[in-house]
Amino acid sequence: MKGEICKYYRLTLNGCPICFVDELKYLGWYVVSAKRFKVSLHETRVKFFQSLDSIYAKSSHCTEPVIQHLVNANCKPHLLYGSEVIGWNNSELSNIVYAFDSAMCRIYNVNLKLLPTVYHYTGQTDIRNNIVHRRHQSKCFF
């Protein structure tokens, strides 16, 4: 509950007042108070970029494909966590895509316009495709 000030109302549960907050952490997600179910992507992106920075700082001797593999294995899961069940709107999905694309641009030292070419020659898929694939797979199991 990230240190916010608790607002008490006259609603109680077993004699204890219920605290209303704007955001709470549940199963690794920060659920935000909204009219529809919504999660905050800020912490997700922070974890992704912290992992990326950690790998990137220690990989000056590595080739780009090796760094890409390390990012896919260790950083990308932060962005994909729960993507099977979270109904992101276009803006939220764009934030996830932009975070991953920024990492790939940094690794290959290219701008966003050249990224599709990098993806083509490296066999990397757009993270949007990963999310769609995960959602499709989860529907097969439920």
d(CA 7, CA 91) in angstroms, rounded, equals 30
Structure token digits, residue 61 = 């001797």
Instruction: Identify the CA nearest to 127 among candidates 142, 88, 109, 110.
Output: 88
Interacting residues of 32 by C-beta distance below 8 A, sequence separation 6+: 22, 23, 38, 39, 40
Q: Which residue has the higher pLDDT, 69 or 60?
A: 69
Model confidence pTM above 0.85: no
Q: How far is CA 113 from CA 7, 72, 118, 128, 129, in A?
A: 47, 21, 10, 17, 18
Which residue has better confidence, 1 or 64?
Answer: 64
Residue ranges per structural domain of the chain:
1-40, 41-141
Do residues 115 and 101 make contact, with C-beta atoms less than 8 angstroms apart? yes
* pLDDT greater than 50 at residue 1: no
pLDDT digits (tens, 9 = 90+) for 17-30: 777 788 888 888 88
